Amino acid sequence: MIPGVRRAGWPERRRNGTYAGSCWRTTGRPRRSDGLRAGRTASVTPTGWPPEVVYQNNIMSQFNIFEAAARLGIQRVVSASSISAFGFPFQHRWSEPLYLPLDEAHPLLPQDAYGLSKATGEEIAAAYCRRTGASAASLRFSTIIDDTSMAQVLKSGRKNPGSWAPSLWSYVHVNDVAQACLLALTCSYEGHHVFHITSNDTNTDLPTNELLDHWFPTVPRRPKTHEPRWSLIDGTRAEEILGYRPRYRWSEALSATTEEQSS
């Protein structure tokens, strides 16, 4: 993601956000606050870390970044949230959405430390906007892939599609993540907004309704498209406010690769 943002002329600085001083050194003390904007993407995932470390790292780094932004008069902050805020990807007990596709109005029902940290992190962003009158975007990313990991994700989904059910077979390419971050930094909006940043299909060959018939048969369906592999994460708000449209679909990329190899 960083190269895409860097190409657009935004500087990159990396710090350990769990310490308040690091955040102050990262943002610096500006001469003028008008128009200054910041983005935050780093966090600790549940894999290999105890829950208290995951929660403390993610919450304290989120708080410190927004605290520094408020004190420095920064007018826009974009932070990385996750569809894990809904509570399904890392849940301890099986639970199901109230309806599909998930939109931003669906209740957040986290059970795990990571999902809870993302849900609470969005509240920190909202508090910053209430406090300062500035604006912020919480970008709920699906599983982020790149050209290298795409094949592994597809292989996993074909071998065991049920393993992706908690994540609702959703994904987003890293280049689309960069696109969304840049749009969220530069587009015109006020206050705090949550946006779903995802692809507009799923990471499996199987039709979406077939997946739902097997793993979520009782969950009400409200599809907004007639495409066979319609996404279970609704990205309408990101399109309407940010102008975000995912450019990457694994099926198209795979077809292009196959054509190149055969030519």
Does any domain span residue 214?
A: no
- Domain containing 125 equals 2-144+170-201+231-249
Does any domain span residue 78?
A: yes
pLDDT of residue 36: 56
Cis peptide before 101 (omega within 30 of 0): yes
Chain centroid offset of residue 193 CA: 13
pTM: predicted TM-score of the whole model, two decimal places: 0.84
pLDDT of residue 30: 45
Does any domain span residue 225?
A: no
The phi and psi torsions of 25 (rounded to 5 degrees) equal -70, -30
Question: Coil, strand or helix: which one is 77?
Answer: strand
Does any domain span residue 8?
A: yes
pLDDT of residue 1: 41
Residues 119-148 have pLDDT tens digits of 999 999 999 999 999 999 999 999 999 988
CATH number for the domain that contains residue 62: 3.40.50.720
Per the structure, how many domains does the chain have?
A: 1
- Residue 32 pLDDT exceeds 50: no
pLDDT of residue 65: 94
Is 147 or 16 the better-scoring residue by pLDDT? 147
Does any domain span residue 261?
A: no
Does any domain span residue 226?
A: no
Does any domain span residue 29?
A: yes
Does any domain span residue 47?
A: yes
Confidence of residue 31 (pLDDT cuts 50, 70, 90): very low
d(CA 77, CA 97): 29
Chain centroid offset of residue 124 CA: 16
pLDDT of residue 131: 98
Specify the length of the chain in residues: 263
Confidence of residue 251 (pLDDT cuts 50, 70, 90): confident
Confidence of residue 8 (pLDDT cuts 50, 70, 90): low
